[in-house]
Amino acid sequence: MKRSAYIPLLYLSAGSALALSSCGGKNDAPPPPPPAVVAVETVSEAQAAYHEAYPATITALNETELRPQVSGYITGIHFRDGQHVQQGQLLYTIDQQAYQAGVSEAQANLAVARANLNKAQKDADRYIALDKKEAIAKQVLDHALADLESARMQVRAAEAGVKSVQTSLRYSKIVAPFSGTIGISMVKLGASVSPGSTLLNTISTDDPIAADFFLDQKDLPRFTALQTAAGNNDSTFTILLPDGNLYAHSGKIASIDRAVDAQTGTIRVRLAFPNKEKTLRPGMSATVRVYHNKGGNAVLIPAKAITEQMGEYFVYLVTDSSTVTQTKVKTGATIRDRIIIEEGLQPGQKIVTDGLQRVKEGARIQAGDPKAAPAAGGKPAPSKG
């Protein structure tokens, strides 16, 4: 009985499997996915004029530290801190008494040496005349000529001594090496100063004044051309002050450094600006703006339309069959939220600008608002309100 009951059960299960197999035999393919809804824009040209911004530091075109060349005590300060001084103007006086005494002593020594030279010259002349008459021994004449040469050397040494102490006396008066603005004095009256080690003050030129910034080496040819251009003193170079206001005067390229920094790949550029109002001060931070105009229209597309892959840039180009293909482009400068395309696109072509995450190479697309399109899984995006 157990065996006869078991066999029909097995038979029924096999029959059921055959019946199910015969019902699903068609093996239909799944329907294709709907087109991805993306934002599409037609590529066009526009005026490509913009400002490039570089962080800069204001610096003096000429600046030097004032240090004494003789030792002594400060006996005179002849300027006001922060004053504009003229070249050659007296700034500091170091106690001159010792140096004046040294000059007087050296001049006296020179007078003695010259008197000795005069006596030696007369003796030599007398002995030369006697020698011609063979009235003196040859050795006496030789001694007289040697004394004459020694007296001449003593005069030269005394003259050098006078010049040396006169130089020290002159160095006791420190004057402005050029016209400019002098800073706050680092020493007071009566302070003891030593040659080279004591900093007295710093003086720098203030009109014109410079702005230094660092330029990427790839832009060096363009700036070299700007340096030699006739319009180097126009409004190409302007400055934004720390408070955000635009400086009233434009500048020009004063110099480009001799070499590129091998570590950073940048090179220092120095601009010169008029500064009669003393608005710009050395050490200030500012922003240099460089006006750039490509001289006509250029292809501009939204920056968000560009994707980057391993240092290369691509856009999704819409084909006539409403599919997309990834296209490599060469980018230029950024102007606000758009980027100049130098190679890879032509006006009139259509590109995907929003919804890039929905597409891949060869995908079908439908122009629309990606934010209002169905989300992943086919369900519409939830409505607001």
Cβ(142)–Cβ(107) under 8 Å? no
More confident residue, 110 or 8: 110
Q: What is the CATH number of the domain that holds 232?
A: 2.40.30.170
Give residue 296's pLDDT band: very low, low, confident or very high (50, 70, 90).
Answer: low
Q: Give the pLDDT mean for 10-26.
A: 46
Q: What is the CATH number of the domain that holds 130?
A: 1.10.287.470
**Domain enclosing residue 69, as ranges:** 64-95+172-201
pLDDT recorded at residue 271: 92
pLDDT recorded at residue 58: 93
Angle at 329 between CA 324 and CA 333, to 5 degrees: 130
Q: Give the pLDDT mean for 48-70.
A: 88
- Positive or negative, the Cα torsion across 352, 356, 360, 361? positive
Looking at the structure of the chain, the number of domains it has is 4
In this structure, the answer to whether residues 187 and 284 fall within a common structural domain is: no
More confident residue, 232 or 213: 213
In this structure, the answer to whether residues 316 and 207 fall within a common structural domain is: no
> Is the residue at 242 inside a domain?
yes
In this structure, the answer to whether residues 304 and 263 fall within a common structural domain is: no
In this structure, the answer to whether residues 210 and 326 fall within a common structural domain is: no
pLDDT at 372 over 80: no
pLDDT recorded at residue 376: 47
> Is the residue at 8 inside a domain?
no
pLDDT at 305 over 60: yes
Q: Give the pLDDT mean for 235-241.
A: 88
Give residue 10's pLDDT band: very low, low, confident or very high (50, 70, 90).
Answer: very low
CA distances from 222 to 120, 215, 226, 230, 252 (A): 74, 11, 6, 14, 14
pLDDT at 378 over 60: no
Where a domain ends, among 237, 269, 294?
A: 294
More confident residue, 383 or 110: 110
> Is the residue at 290 inside a domain?
yes
Find where tokens 């097995």 sit. 10
Give residue 77's pLDDT band: very low, low, confident or very high (50, 70, 90).
Answer: very high
Q: Give the pLDDT mean for 137-141.
A: 85
Comparing C-alpha atoms, which of 24, 22, 9, 36 is closest to residue 357?
A: 36
* Nearby residues of 259 by Cβ (< 8 Å), 6 or more positions away: 267
Where a domain ends, among 294, 309, 333?
A: 294
- Positive or negative, the Cα torsion across 223, 226, 232, 236? negative
Find where tokens 């720098």 sit. 204
Angle at 82 between CA 79 and CA 84, to 5 degrees: 70
Q: Give the pLDDT mean for 188-217.
A: 91
Backbone angles phi, psi at 218, to 5 degrees: -70, -20
In this structure, the answer to whether residues 160 and 243 fall within a common structural domain is: no
Per-residue pLDDT tens digits for 177-192? 999 999 999 999 999 9
Q: What is the CATH number of the domain that holds 79?
A: 2.40.50.100
Strand pairing category for 365-367 and 36-42: parallel
Q: Model pTM?
A: 0.60
Give buried/exposed letters for 43-82 (b at 16+ CB in 10 A, else e): beeeebebeeebebebbbbebeebbbebbbebeebebeee
More confident residue, 144 or 200: 200
In this structure, the answer to whether residues 57 and 73 fall within a common structural domain is: no
Percent of all residues in the chain with a pLDDT value above 90, rounded to a whole number: 34
In this structure, the answer to whether residues 209 and 290 fall within a common structural domain is: yes
Give residue 28's pLDDT band: very low, low, confident or very high (50, 70, 90).
Answer: low
pLDDT at 91 over 70: yes
More confident residue, 185 or 219: 185
Cβ(58)–Cβ(280) under 8 Å? yes
Q: How many CB atoms lie within 10 A of CB 121?
A: 15
Q: Give the pLDDT mean for 57-79.
A: 92
In this structure, the answer to whether residues 223 and 290 fall within a common structural domain is: yes
pLDDT recorded at residue 1: 41
pLDDT at 65 over 90: yes
> Is the residue at 77 inside a domain?
yes
In this structure, the answer to whether residues 263 and 209 fall within a common structural domain is: yes
Q: What is the CATH number of the domain that holds 327?
A: 2.40.420.20
> Is the residue at 224 inside a domain?
yes
Q: Give the pLDDT mean for 148-154.
A: 90
Where a domain ends, among 118, 153, 171?
A: 171
pLDDT recorded at residue 26: 52
pLDDT recorded at residue 234: 64
Q: Give the pLDDT mean for 7-17.
A: 44
> Is the residue at 380 inside a domain?
no
pLDDT recorded at residue 18: 41
More confident residue, 64 or 369: 64
pLDDT recorded at residue 60: 92
In this structure, the answer to whether residues 84 and 186 fall within a common structural domain is: yes
In this structure, the answer to whether residues 276 and 218 fall within a common structural domain is: yes
In this structure, the answer to whether residues 216 and 285 fall within a common structural domain is: yes
> Is the residue at 6 inside a domain?
no
